[in-house]
Structure 1
Amino acid sequence: MEPSPLTQVSRPETFQPKIIQLYETLFKEDDEDEELSEGFWEEFFLHRPDHTGLKSVLGSVSPDEMLQLQTRSQQLFLRAIQRARQGTAPSDEIALETLTVFLDAALSKKYTNPSSDIISVLAGLHDADAVMSDFVAMLDAVIRNGRSIPLRLKAVRTTLSITAAGFHTALPSYLTHRDLFPSLMKYIQDCEDSAQILPAFYLLGLLVNYNKFEFQNPYRLRLDDFVNDAIIQKMITGFGDTCLRLRDAYVAVQDDIPEGWTLGSTLNYIGLGVLAPASRPSTPTPGPEETKSLFAALPGPEIGELLSTYDFANANKVFCFNLVSTQAPNKGDASPLSVFLSLTSYLFQHAHRSSRSALYAYLSLFVLQILVEDQLLVKRLCSDEGKLSVRLCRQRPPYLPLVKGERAPGSVIIDLMIDGINHNLRRRLDVDFYILCLGVLLRMLSYLGRAKVRMAYHWSEVWRTLLSFFRFLTTYVNDIRSIRGCSEMVDLLVNLLAFALSSGENFLPDPASYDDLFYKLVETGDILVKFRDAFGLSNSHSIQTLINVSSHYHSLLEGNEKGKMRSKNLSPREVSNVIKQGYDTLSIEAGEGLDRWERFREADFKIFLKKIARAAVEDAKFLEER
């Protein structure tokens, strides 16, 4: 029998997709100056991009090699711009996806001269202005009028990628020269869900913060006069969805809902647990070290959207009003304000875990301060008109009283400040964080006192927290006194308590709440005197007022009554009666202007905001991996 002329070719051990071969051809050093054929590019933009493969190929190219291969990288950049601009499926989508991966990999390399080297890689120094203008014009056109939302979303993500990857170079300046704001707003208006809104709103925050302290940023100016309620509400609703996902990530690590009374828990309590109905197996609880590690990785990178929220709130009253009044799209769901406040409570309890967590906690405080400084907004926040239910973090003691049901948002904000003060005590105190917390408290009490709003609240927790803070500062005075801003923090603390003492009858709901403040002040004993001496406050009228009130009641409690010495073991009720009787002979000479405060000025927090912007930029780089 004749042997067959056909021979079997052995199959390769691994199959390499065609697109990977094209990537390798594109970025090989041999003949890098050679112009690739039209056929190459036709085939290139017919294959779906392999993100991992392209990252791998580009990852193996050093910064110097990237500069040597600039002819090829420039060709890719130009060809992708042309394809995306043509609007022909599927090559326009492929071009945008390829651009996103390429730019992220190419721009993240450590170049010797970042700005000029990146321009060389993308366009060449001579053609930079023309090529980059074409690139931004293409993005603008696709974001505004692309043939589908998915395509427009790809353009937004590409823009976010190049902004984040090149944020510390001159590259984003091309995005500020061309106004993308109208296109981004039109895109958000057409979006169908929050996942589509997120990258556009996030991008806006980065564009607003690009060199905003060095020149008049056009995007910052755009925020001032934007009044489209429908688009603003879409942004805020999307932000609320983001807050909910971020908050739930904390809960996934440690579920902190207090256990309710069930049949099973009741039977266990009385020793009859064997009769309890079988329950489903619970999810394994991580150990202490794993829990610590999981918490340290939070919040997720979507938290950078908080920067956009801050910038809009700082610039736009319409945005602020919608932030406090927008309801959840579905009945029974939490409103955007509710989940923002909830997320903030988790940020505060975990702010100590990393500098990144602390920066975003600061950003939440900035937003809250801006809201409570507006007299119309704080009125709504402290009224029953905007009542809401908020899940507050209970992952670390001490715990605030558990409040079920709806209440005024202002009472939740006070809870947040108290929780922030209680959960961030350490010798190397974050003084700026405490200045902000005390400042928001002062603004809240100032409004309540002037407007004579008697808001229901567990006020004893406020006095307990503030006076415990006095004790803490007195104990660790040697560690804290030298920290920058300490004097401002100490003055704010003293003035806040003195104001509450002198004006509490205007906002506390009943006489018993006012009595409790005096009771706790008397309990503090000689701590106030030690505090005054430790921090050199001999000329402070406010601290002397507190000491005088405490001394007044100590003299009544320790003095004689009809020639007899009072018992040293008086009951709380007896002490309370003495406090009430002591009002007749008490004179509180509180200084003027204890409740004065300066409006939020962004320039005062320039250093923090630059650090926050850097954190948001780094987080933006991880968004595509989610």
Structure 2
Amino acid sequence: MEPSPLTQDSRPDIFQPKIVRLYEALFREDEDDVDLSEGFWEEFFLLRPDFAGLRRLLRSLGPDDLLHLHAHTQQLFLCALSRVRQAKAPADEVALETLTVFLDTALSKKYTNPSSDILSVLAGLHDADAVLSDFVATLDTVIRNGRDLNVRSKAIRAALSMTSSSFHTGLPTYFTHRDLFPSLMKFVQDCETSVQALPALYLLGVLVNYNKFEFQNPYRLRLDDFVNDSVIQKMITGFASTCVALRDAYVAVQDDLPEGWTLGSTLNYIGLGVLAPGSRPSTPVPAADEARSLFTALPGPEIGVFLAIYDFANANKLFCFNLVTMTPAEKGNPSPLGSFLSLTSYLFQHAHRSYRSSLYTYLSLFILQILVEDQILVKRLCGDESKVSIRLCRQRQPYLPIVKGDRVAVAVILDLVVDGVNHNLRRRLDVELYILNLGVLLRILSYLSKAKARISYHWSELWRTLLSFMRFLSTYVSDIKPIYRSSDMVDQLVNVLAFALSNGENFLPDPAAYDDLFYKLVETGDIVTKFRNTFELASRSGPNSIQTLINVSSHYRSLLESGEKKSSKILSPREVSTVIKQGYETLSIESSDGLDRWEKYREADMKVLLKKIARAVVDDARVLVEEKVT
């Protein structure tokens, strides 16, 4: 029998998808074949993509390699754009995701002349304006009227990838030449779930912050007069869902529910009382080093949506009103404000772990400051209609007392302040974080005093925390004093304490709570005098707050020493309290005018920080895009 003419090829050791071979052909150096055929591109956008393979290939090429291959990269950009415009499945989706991966990877390289080199890679210097303007216009059309929500969402990710690259390279973002705001808001309105709206909100935050201090950013102006309640509420609901997911990532590392709680009370505490039947699964506890590493990597990149929430809160009173007043979508779930405060408590306890984490903590403090500065909103935050029951972080000692049941929102914010002070103490102190933290506290106390609003709160924990902070600063004065703005922080701390002494009777719930403040100050001993001397406060201009503290402390010390001499024994706590009550009759506290003075939040004052925050958000956007396009 003659041998068969058919032979079987041996199977390759590693199977390579055909699309990967096309990627290799696209980026192969071959000067004799500059123009790739239409058939090549037709197949390219119809095959199942391998974006991990495309990323690997692009990352293996240096910036000079891509510049040398500019003829092919330009063809890729133009042909992908053509498929997006044609709006035919699956080519348009493949084209959008290919563009996203290409832009994210190719534009992140360190070019010698970033702006001009990138334009050469994408379109050529001569045609750059026309091609990139067409790119933006095409994405705008897809975001607004794409054939389905999935394609529109992919167009948003492509725009986010391009805009993120512009931050790092100085490449002009053509998205500021064409207003995408109406399309993004229409996308949000069309979303079936609030979570689907998040890509649009993320992109908006990046666009609003592109060179916002260098020119009049059109997106920033759009936020001021936006009054569509349904869209605002959908964005806030999506933001709340993100907060819960980000908070749960911290809980997954270390479950911090108080010991001894029943399952029912536990679920009620975290806002999931409707799920009380059943049992809570146990999770393995990571080792200390592993937990530290896991915590340092948090929060996840979705946290970048905070930037758009901040910008809306800073520009739009209707947005703030909805954020504060919106109720849960389902009974038993936390409100959007409750979800935000819950995540913020975890950010506060872990802000020290990385500079990135501290930047997002600043952003949450900006939002809190904006809310408590508004007299209408802070009144609501202090009222019974704001009561919430939320999970607060208990992953590091010292722990705050457990309060079961609902509390007014301002009480929760005070807990955040206390945790922020207690859990970020270190010699290289994050002074800016403490200034912001104390600023939120001062605004709250100022309102409570003027409104004579008395809220239920463990005030003794607040006074103990502030006086312990004073002791810490006195101990590490040589480390703290050289830090920029440390003197502002010191003044703010002293002013808060002096204001509380002068006005505590206006907002503390009863005389016993007011007595306790004096008791805590007397208990501090000579720390206040040492604090004045080490930070050279006696010569400061303005309200002499430190002298107020020293005068009160000295007044009661003399009374207590006199009482001990008369009784020939050390006074008991009850006897000390009696002396404090009696001492009011002979105590003279200087006028507190100016102690609660604060400047309304001005974005320009935070320009340096906001630029750093925007860059962190851009970096997270790129991580998020890569996770979504796999």
* Equivalent residues of 1:32, 1:71 under 8 A apart: no
Question: How far apart in 1 are the matches of 2:227 and 2:569?
Answer: 65
Deviation at 1:92, TM superposition (A): 1.1
1:549 aligns with 2:557: no
With normalisation by structure 2, the TM-score equals 0.94
Measured against aligned partners, the alpha-carbon deviations of 1:330-358 in whole angstroms (never above 9, x if no partner) come to 21111111111111111111111111111
Residue number in structure 2 paired with 1:343: 343
Equivalent AA in structure 1 for residue 604 of structure 2: A
Deviation at 1:13, TM superposition (A): 2.7
Residue number in structure 2 paired with 1:531: 531
Worse-superposed segment, 43-52 or 457-466: 43-52
Residue number in structure 1 paired with 2:23: 23
Measured against aligned partners, the alpha-carbon deviations of 1:79-136 in whole angstroms (never above 9, x if no partner) come to 1111101111221111111111111121111111111111000000000011001100
Equivalent AA in structure 2 for residue 71 of structure 1: A
Measured against aligned partners, the alpha-carbon deviations of 1:18-72 in whole angstroms (never above 9, x if no partner) come to 2112111111111366222221122112112211121122222221110111111
* Equivalent residues of 1:557, 1:566 under 8 A apart: no
Residue number in structure 1 paired with 2:590: 589
Deviation at 1:560, TM superposition (A): 5.3
Q: 1:348 and 1:262, CA in 2 relative to 1: closer, same or farther beyond 3 A?
A: closer
Equivalent AA in structure 1 for residue 58 of structure 2: L
Q: 1:281 and 1:462, CA in 2 relative to 1: closer, same or farther beyond 3 A?
A: closer
With normalisation by structure 1, the TM-score equals 0.95
Measured against aligned partners, the alpha-carbon deviations of 1:558-596 in whole angstroms (never above 9, x if no partner) come to 1159xx623442111111111111111111113411111
Equivalent AA in structure 2 for residue 549 of structure 1: V
Question: How far apart in 2 are the matches of 1:50 and 1:567?
Answer: 86
RMSD: 1.6
Question: How far apart in 2 are the matches of 1:526 and 1:32?
Answer: 84
Aligned residues: 609
Residue number in structure 2 paired with 1:608: 609
Measured against aligned partners, the alpha-carbon deviations of 1:280-334 in whole angstroms (never above 9, x if no partner) come to 9843211111111111111111111111111111111111111111222121111
Deviation at 1:440, TM superposition (A): 0.7
Structural mapping, 1:44-55, within 5 Å:
44-55=44-55
Question: How far apart in 1 are the matches of 2:349 and 2:498?
Answer: 27
SS of match in other structure, 2:346: helix
* Equivalent residues of 1:499, 1:590 under 8 A apart: no
Equivalent AA in structure 2 for residue 514 of structure 1: Y
* Equivalent residues of 1:428, 1:479 under 8 A apart: yes
Question: How far apart in 2 are the matches of 1:557 and 1:255?
Answer: 46
Residue number in structure 1 paired with 2:82: 82
* Equivalent residues of 1:104, 1:165 under 8 A apart: yes
Residue number in structure 2 paired with 1:227: 227
Residue number in structure 1 paired with 2:520: 520
* Equivalent residues of 2:519, 2:577 under 8 A apart: yes
Worse-superposed segment, 589-598 or 398-407: 589-598
Q: 1:262 and 1:173, CA in 2 relative to 1: closer, same or farther beyond 3 A?
A: closer
Worse-superposed segment, 296-305 or 472-481: 472-481
Question: How far apart in 2 are the matches of 1:262 and 1:237?
Answer: 29
4+ runs deviating over 3 angstroms: 279-282
Q: 1:509 and 1:32, CA in 2 relative to 1: closer, same or farther beyond 3 A?
A: farther
* Equivalent residues of 2:114, 2:171 under 8 A apart: no
Deviation at 1:262, TM superposition (A): 6.1
Equivalent AA in structure 2 for residue 550 of structure 1: S
* Equivalent residues of 1:304, 1:616 under 8 A apart: yes
Worse-superposed segment, 295-304 or 581-590: 581-590
* Equivalent residues of 1:32, 1:72 under 8 A apart: no
1:39 aligns with 2:39: yes
Q: 1:280 and 1:114, CA in 2 relative to 1: closer, same or farther beyond 3 A?
A: closer
SS of match in other structure, 2:169: coil
Residue number in structure 1 paired with 2:272: none
Residue number in structure 2 paired with 1:484: 484
Structural mapping, 1:185-196, within 5 Å:
185-196=185-196
Gaps of 5+ in 2: 264-278
Q: 1:568 and 1:622, CA in 2 relative to 1: closer, same or farther beyond 3 A?
A: farther
Question: How far apart in 2 are the matches of 1:285 and 1:337?
Answer: 30
Worse-superposed segment, 185-194 or 2-11: 2-11
Question: How far apart in 1 are the matches of 2:130 and 2:579?
Answer: 82
Equivalent AA in structure 2 for residue 85 of structure 1: R
1:11 aligns with 2:11: yes
1:621 aligns with 2:622: yes
Worse-superposed segment, 81-90 or 177-186: 81-90
Structural mapping, 1:394-543, within 5 Å:
394-539=394-539, 541-543=544-546
Equivalent AA in structure 2 for residue 565 of structure 1: K
* Equivalent residues of 1:160, 1:203 under 8 A apart: yes
* Equivalent residues of 1:162, 1:172 under 8 A apart: no
* Equivalent residues of 1:467, 1:521 under 8 A apart: yes
Deviation at 1:474, TM superposition (A): 1.3
1:579 aligns with 2:580: yes
Identity of aligned pairs, percent?
73
Residue number in structure 1 paired with 2:315: 315
